[in-house]
Amino acid sequence: MNQTTLAVVSGTDAAFMRPDHADLNQRLEDRFVMVANLAPAALQEPCRVHFAKKGKHLRGKLAYASALAFGASRSAALSWAVAVELLHNASLVHDDLCDKDSKRRGQRTTYRQYGEAIAVCLGDYLIAKAFEFGASAGLGCLPHLSSSIATLVGGQAAEFSNAGYPNWDAYEQIAVDKTAPLLSLGITGAAAIMHETAPTQQIERYFYHAALCFQMINDIRNFSGSDGAEAPCSDLANCRPNAVIACFTETLSKPVNARFSLWADKIKAGEIIADAVETREWWQRLCASGAFSDTAQRLHFHFNMATTELVKLPISLQAVLGALNEWLALELTKTQHCMSAHRD
């Protein structure tokens, strides 16, 4: 990250970090308690347990700040923030089910604690409540909620519909489709609530790169075990889309890449369980391949592109997105030690 980029990031007015938004976390969490209390009896405990481990609420804070920036009342802004957060949490519950994950935010996932059926039903319930809160904020946001979840589930499904391990282009599309919709939704939906016109193409260009940064940072953290997964390198053991692994496959000869893809297909299909010896072999090849260096370069590229797109947005939106971009910069810095350790 160069000094010019750091100056742009650090100098941005971080709208949703202002003191008057300091209690937003508590207000969001109060609404989640209400959502759990209003859930059907069979879903009340799973819902409470899911929300017991608090997240960062980045998407909700972005939605709240965006709504205020477009002139919404604080009440409407809060309803919109809750809607976006509920949709995000629904995606987490369903994602854990699809991936058969055991841990989320340091605790057992809904899928592991209550089973597949409850995980499906809880995710569906949270989607329903997201539309309810969205309608309360303003009916104009509802098409945006719908299109965002449609794109997101398409990205999720793409993980399981392709033969072989995804190459970089396929990985990039999956990562963007799974991550960008719920980030950009906070802004585009907020504009629709107030019947304002948002610079949609510019926003999408920013979030294309920002979403890749989000996912790539999480992918790198998977190799250190700091992403909340049950075990380090779980993406490699389960052959899930990961930026580092996608870069690794580009270094392989065609015969070796074909062998890796065949191994990945068998694991994804449940035909074999990841073998410690074979996984270790691929891990050693990956560490010797320069994949971490390549991932680091791509991460810096997309962060710099995101920052470039940020300064092209209207000043009011730069203020809203400044805190998000600064958070990305800090997370990017934290990954440097992880990547250096693996390169060494």
pLDDT of residue 33: 97
pLDDT of residue 104: 85
Give the per-residue SS3 of 191-247: HHHCCCCCCHHHHHHHHHHHHHHHHHHHHHHHCCCCCCCCCCCHHHHHCCCCHHHHH
CATH 1.10.600.10 fits 3-343, yes or no: yes
Residue among 205, 232, 221 nearest 295 (CA): 221
More confident residue, 224 or 31: 31
- pLDDT tens, residue by residue, 209-259: 999 999 999 999 888 765 555 555 788 888 889 999 999 999 999 999 999
Q: What is the mean pLDDT of the chain?
A: 88
Segment 118-141 shows an average pLDDT of 98
More confident residue, 30 or 228: 30
- pLDDT tens, residue by residue, 35-76: 999 999 999 999 999 999 888 899 999 999 999 999 999 999
pLDDT of residue 314: 94
- The pTM (predicted TM-score) of the whole model is 0.88
Domain segments of the chain as ranges: 3-343
How far CA 167 is from CA of 14, 174, 193, 209, 211, in Å, comes to 36, 11, 39, 18, 18
User: Is pLDDT above 80 for 340?
Assistant: no
